[in-house]
Amino acid sequence: MATVVFADLVGSTSLFDRVGDEVASHFVQQLMATLRPIFEQHQGRVVKLLGDGLFVVFDDETKALTACTQVLNQLLQQPLRATPNLAPAQMQIGIASGEVVELQGDCFGDTVNSAARLADLAGPSQILTTEPVWNALPTAYKLALRDMGPIYLRGRSEASHVYRVEWQSGRNEEATMAGRSMLPRVPRAECLKLAHGEHTMSLAAGPGKVMMGRAPEVDFVINDPRVSRKHAMVEWRGGYFVLTDLSSHGSWVSVGKQSQAVLLRRTECYLVGSGHIVLGGDDADADAPVVVFNIA
């Protein structure tokens, strides 16, 4: 049994495009050299560098989660930039726990794949994990994990129960040092942004909803014959943005870097991080109407 962490640099491809290979490579090396000791201080073994991230294995879920929150806090308190005019570096992190096969210093198996998929799914400065990790954590740590419900990870036929770590929450001064950075007091404000071509709309966390469809009276109009008059609805419910398909032909939802879309037909799913929604057409259809979403 082991706990696997994948920590990836957000937007590394665009970074190389904007500043060039030499500057970007030097910055990524500097970033990895800064973050690696934090994982190692919590008994994490860096299996390998991934070009724009780290693959780390722990023998304990609590150590892994503590190390990951410290990494994000480090980047928040001491921002690192490739050039002065660029935004600070952000990491997206996935944590999974289970059986791991070690061979010649490398690690393989479903747990490794799950951690990598969670990192792909996470938004900037987010940590996502699964139920086995949640089950193994002390109560103080569990309080900081928000249940995202079942989510299909790429390459898996069954949904995984995913949790998001609220590492920026308020602090309880009577807690232990480890627990102090984990205990929530005030929920983080969030905003969902939708875009279809030049048409954009925002939905803040709280009361309210956005109806998408072909009918002129809906909130977000998409004029395409494949789209139902009232095709899908997005609302803030129970602390999450939830997409509900109301159509005859369905909606295809892709989250993060996942290449495999989840098909909704009169069903619903949570929206996490960023991704896109194809309304009425097959996800493989190049000219299908697409709504891009981002939660920040």
Decide if 2-180 and 191-295 have a common fold.
no
Decide: 210 and 220 in contact? Cβ < 8 Å. yes
Return the CATH class of domain 2-180.
alpha beta
Quickly count: other Cβ atoms within 10 Å of residue 196's Cβ. 20
Average pLDDT over all residues of the chain: 84
CA distances to 90, 142, 263 from 129, rounded to whole Å, are 18, 11, 23
User: Residue 294: what residue type?
Assistant: N
- Mean pLDDT for 174-183 is 30
Closest CA to 140 of 162, 166, 160, 115: 166
Lowest mean pLDDT among 114-118, 188-192, 228-232: 188-192
Angle between helix 21-41 and helix 12-19 axes, rounded to 10 deg: 140
228 CB neighbour count, 10 Å cutoff? 22
71 has a pLDDT exceeding 80? yes
Q: How far apart are CA 2 and CA 100, in angstroms?
A: 6
Identify the pLDDT of residue 195: 96
* Edge-to-edge strands, sheet with 53-58: 45-49, 53-58, 2-9, 91-98, 126-130, 160-165, 145-151
Letter for the amino acid at 239? G
Domain boundaries, the chain: 2-180, 191-295
Mean pLDDT of 72-100: 91
Question: Residue holding tokens 């722990």?
Answer: 58
What share of residues in the chain are helix, strand, coil (percent, to 5)? 25, 35, 40
Provide the edge-to-edge strand list for the sheet that holds 290-295. Answer: 199-204, 191-196, 290-295, 274-279, 251-255, 262-264
pLDDT > 70: percent of the chain: 89
Q: What do you get for the CA distance between the two ends of the chain, in Å?
A: 34
The per-residue pLDDT for 183 is 31
pLDDT for 255? 79
Point out which residues pair with 160 in neighbouring strands. Answer: 151
Model confidence, pTM: 0.63
Q: Is pLDDT at 181 greater than 60 in this prediction?
A: no
Q: What is the CATH number of domain 191-295?
A: 2.60.200.20
